[in-house]
Amino acid sequence: MFDTSSSDALALRATALGFDAVRGKLPVAGDPHRSLDSVTVVRQLSELSTLIARGR
């Protein structure tokens, strides 16, 4: 069993919320309201990369 301080738990929750926010912006194949253009995809991947780098 893991003993996690409340500050660690809050940081983990904030990171998870950040991932959820970025995931919600990602284009989905077949969705006419979200473009699959490469610029949009690269921006979202960049945001995800930033979140991953912060989590390390």
Give dist(CA 51, CA 43) in Å, integer.
13
pTM (global) more than 0.85: no
Domain ranges of the chain: 6-55
Q: What is the tens place of the pLDDT at every residue in 7-51?
A: 888 888 888 898 888 888 777 777 777 666 788 778 888 888 888
Q: Which residues contact 27 (CB under 8 A, 6 or more apart)?
A: 34, 35, 36, 40, 41, 44
